[in-house]
Amino acid sequence: MTDTPEKNALDDIPEAVSEPKRRFSIQLVWIIPIVAALIGLSIAVKAYIDRGQVITITFKTGEGLEAGKTKLKYKDVMIGEVKSIAISNDRSHVVVTAEVTKDARGLMVKDTRFWVVRARISGGNVSGLNTLLGGSYIGVEAGTYTEPREDFVGLESPPAVSVDVPGRQFVLHSTEVGSLDTGSPIFFRRMQVGQVVGTELDRDGKGVTVKIFIRSPYDKFIKVNTYFWHASGIDLTLSASGVKVDTESMVSILLGGISFEEPEGKGDAPPAPPNTIFSLYATRDDAAKHAAAVEKFVLVFKESVRGLAVGAPVDLRGVTVGEVTKIDVALNAKGTDFTVPVEIQFYPNHLLPKANGQEKAPETGDRMLRRLLDDMVAHGFRAQIKSASLLTGQLYVALDFVPGTRPAKIDWKADPPRFPTVPGSMEKLQKNLIEIVQRIEKLPLEQIAGDAGTTIRSLDSTLKSADQLLKNMDRNLVPEARSVLIESRQAIDEVKKTLADARQTLGGANGVLAPDAPVQIDLRDTMREVSRAAQSLRVLGDYLEQHPEALIRGKKQEK
Amino acid sequence: MTQVNSGIPSAASNGLCSCHVCRLVSRRSRFSRREHCPRCGATLHFRKPRSIERCWALVIASYILYIPANLLVMMETGSLINYRKDTIVSGVVHLWKTGSWMIAVIVFIASVAIPVLKLFSLTFLLISVQRRSTWRPRQRTRLFRLLEAVGRWSMLDIYVVTLLAALVQLGSLAVVKAGPAAVAFGAVVILTMFATMQFDPRLIWDPLQKEEIHD
Ligand SMILES: [Zn+2]
């Protein structure tokens, strides 16, 4: 490279085009840092404005909670975040400090509830599945008070029912909790109408208390006489119609559940007030059997109760309404006689009249029942012992209206109350039978049989003499007369046969002791006929003895 | 080295200026006045116009946005096991703790080290140029080339987040979401790239020529 070509090249370079100088203008590029600064500032301002209320919630465990990550959610909307988790001073629980967004400040009132939502499978619901993804969060349920609050005690399990769902709570007592858990469904006619809100062991450890919530409007189906049973199992019933599998739902098989029902056709019981305590039975049958109120009565009988056993049914026109629980014997005060107090229990709900249209003001079951029973007794409602089977001699207690009884009252003061009785039909029957036997014993059966014997004997002799007569005639009479005699002999044979029959019949009659029996009447009639026949034969014989020519000429015309 | 080159005449010292648009070299007589390329009509500049000013503006903007980029959530990842919201640093820490050291190092270099070094390097270059420092111009030029080359790779974090967000959307099973920091971080990366582009490396050498060229 030399200078010369470079000079030439420089000469070839064109001149730039000049332009008049312009005034200095601010560089647009500075807008960028200004915008950046504004953005940064706005973020800071927003963070300052959005800084929420700081609240503390105590939980027993910090499982699933993470500072800076765990959210507070109200109706699945994020309203805050856990800022820090610390152990309480006494180390018994964890204190969660959370910041709630500005918008949700109004939710932090006195009775706001908090609980940790974790994935859980209970009560037929797989809940909190989203927590598998997003991690556990703290569920929030707004309270109804307006008084603000900043420190809360968290629930250990999610509230099964939120406060804004109308309905009523009831309490069930059971011996065991089975597979019930918070959230287990409650069925009414196989429809889910509520759920278990809590289960806890009784203080004495002898049972469990299950709190249930029935949603409105289904809560009105809980009456004072409603009974509850575990719907957890499968009920297999073998009957004439085949095998019946009874279960509420697949869910209840797996996770347990409760069903309830009102005793069928037992009138309209008043609705149960909230928190009424009910028993929870193992099965529906069990429930139906025990749910009805049990009334105990003592029945005092004077007659023998041989054949009446503890457990014998108390029967109301064929329907078993109770059972005998105790049989005793007691000497009366004077020491002159024994009475038999029989204790029974029965389910008086069976007696309650059906409210057919006539809605009465609901009374408490007990008083209504007493009045009803008093009323029925006044109309002749009594207890009596009846025989279930003449062969086995088993007895039962029958309740029914007995016409024509002396007025009586239930002695409510006695313990158990004393229910009026009437002598049982058994006693009457026994009396009647004895009378019949005695009457039969008095009957002169042998004499009757003897009379019949004599009659037949005399008839026999008559026949013999007639026979002899015929033999004589055989020798003396002309052949025409003979044929007549033969005919009459045949007739006599017939009579003889009849007599033999009669004797046979009499023999049979000997076995029949009843004097009024139709056989005996027939026999008498027959005997009468036979003796009449014998009489006419005798008349014939006498006549022929005096007028033998009559056999040839016929009977003389009487003049 | 710098002394060696000091006596050699440059194009600018001879009044020659190349057009930024069509690369035509033309002679300029009046330095004070605005002149146009005789071929394409573009405004002629001896150096990138207002290079230092613009570069400073972009660098300052980058600094401002670097704060939210690190404080805000970069990425939300949800899986069946847990749910996380990570800032850049917490993400790196998490990766390191869970044993993904390699990825942690890469993410740290791409998302923390490089942006910081870029900003500091640019700041250093700008200050040195403004002060007409003659200190090690070659090394400073090499540093600038490095900044240019590395610029696009510091987008790694954004690539990771956007790719994951696009790929991992398994409904309720796993979720990856870019947080607001991703926007800020992206802005930082782009702004530093622009800043690098705005920087005119010839300014490093001008003090050695004892020339004062501002255009
Ligand atoms: Zn040009």
Residues A368, A374: Cα–Cα separation, whole Å: 10
Q: Chain B 8-27, CB below 8 Å of chain A: which residues?
A: 14, 16-17, 24-27
DSSP annotation of A544 reads H
Give me the residue spans of the domains in chain B: 8-46, 49-212
The torsion defined by the Cα of A474, A478, A481 and A486, in degrees rounded to 10, comes to 40
Residues B74, B89: Cα–Cα separation, whole Å: 9
For residue A541, the CA-to-ligand 1 centroid distance in Å is 185
CA angle B77–B83–B87, rounded 5-degree value? 55
The reported pLDDT for the residue numbered B102 is 84
Partner A contacted by B152 (CB < 8 A): no
CA angle A513–A516–A517, rounded 5-degree value? 65
What averages of pLDDT result for each successive group of 10 residues across chain A (559 residues)?
52 72 67 88 83 85 80 83 86 88 81 78 53 71 82 79 74 80 80 83 84 85 82 60 60 72 68 80 73 73 79 79 82 82 75 46 58 84 78 78 82 82 72 76 73 74 73 61 71 77 67 59 79 82 78 65
For residue B43, the CA-to-ligand 1 centroid distance in Å is 8
* Nearest residue in A to B60, CA atom: A33
Residues A95, A89: Cα–Cα separation, whole Å: 9
- Cβ of B5: how many Cβ atoms within 10 Å? 13
The reported pLDDT for the residue numbered B1 is 39
Residue to mutate among B13, B82, B183, with most A CBs inside 10 A, is B82
Q: C-alpha distances in angstroms, A465 versus A101, A383, A537?
A: 142, 73, 10
For residue A523, the CA-to-ligand 1 centroid distance in Å is 161
Partner B contacted by A241 (CB < 8 A): no
Residues A499, A497: Cα–Cα separation, whole Å: 5
Q: Is A179 helix (H, G, I), strand (E, B) or coil?
A: coil
Partner A contacted by B188 (CB < 8 A): no
Q: One digit per residue, pLDDT tens: chain B, 215 residues?
A: 334 445 567 777 777 888 888 888 888 775 556 788 888 888 888 777 778 888 999 999 999 999 888 888 877 776 655 667 778 888 888 888 888 888 788 878 878 888 888 899 999 999 998 888 888 888 999 999 888 888 766 666 667 667 666 666 665 566 677 778 888 888 888 888 888 888 888 888 877 776 566 55
The shortest CB-CB distance from A16 to any of B38, B57, B187 is to B38
Length of chain B equals 215
The reported pLDDT for the residue numbered B126 is 92
Residue to mutate among A13, A63, A73, A137, with most B CBs inside 10 A, is A13
Residues of chain A neighbouring B33 (CB-CB closer than 8 A): 18-21
Stretch (H or E) spanning A352: none
Using only C-alpha atoms, chain A has a radius of gyration, in whole angstroms, of: 54
The shortest CB-CB distance from B67 to any of A10, A19, A40 is to A40
For residue A166, the CA-to-ligand 1 centroid distance in Å is 82
Residues of chain B neighbouring A69 (CB-CB closer than 8 A): 83-85
Q: Are A315 and A261 in contact (CB under 8 A)?
A: no
The shortest CB-CB distance from A69 to any of B35, B36, B85 is to B85
Residues of chain B neighbouring A12 (CB-CB closer than 8 A): none
Residues B99, B85: Cα–Cα separation, whole Å: 19
**Is B83 close to A27, i.e. CB distance below 8 A?**
no
**Is A14 close to B39, i.e. CB distance below 8 A?**
yes
Partner B contacted by A38 (CB < 8 A): no
For residue A16, the CA-to-ligand 1 centroid distance in Å is 10
Tell me how many residue pairs between chain A and chain B have CB atoms under 8 A apart: 109
The torsion defined by the Cα of A358, A364, A369 and A374, in degrees rounded to 10, comes to -90
Q: Distance from B108 to chain A by nearest Cα, in Å?
A: 22
Q: Are A417 and A383 in contact (CB under 8 A)?
A: no
- Got the DSSP string for A321-341? EEEEEEE--EE-TTSS-EEEE
Beta-strand pair A208-215/A258-261: unpaired
Residues of chain B neighbouring A30 (CB-CB closer than 8 A): 53, 57
Angle between helices B180-198 and A31-50 (to 10 degrees): 160
**By CB neighbour count within 10 A (0-12 exposed, 13-18 middle, 19+ buried), where does B161 fall?**
buried
For residue B26, the CA-to-ligand 1 centroid distance in Å is 9
For residue A21, the CA-to-ligand 1 centroid distance in Å is 20
Structure tokens at B150: 């590395």
**Is B37 close to A21, i.e. CB distance below 8 A?**
no
The reported pLDDT for the residue numbered A358 is 40
Structure tokens at B10: 């440059």
Partner B contacted by A39 (CB < 8 A): yes
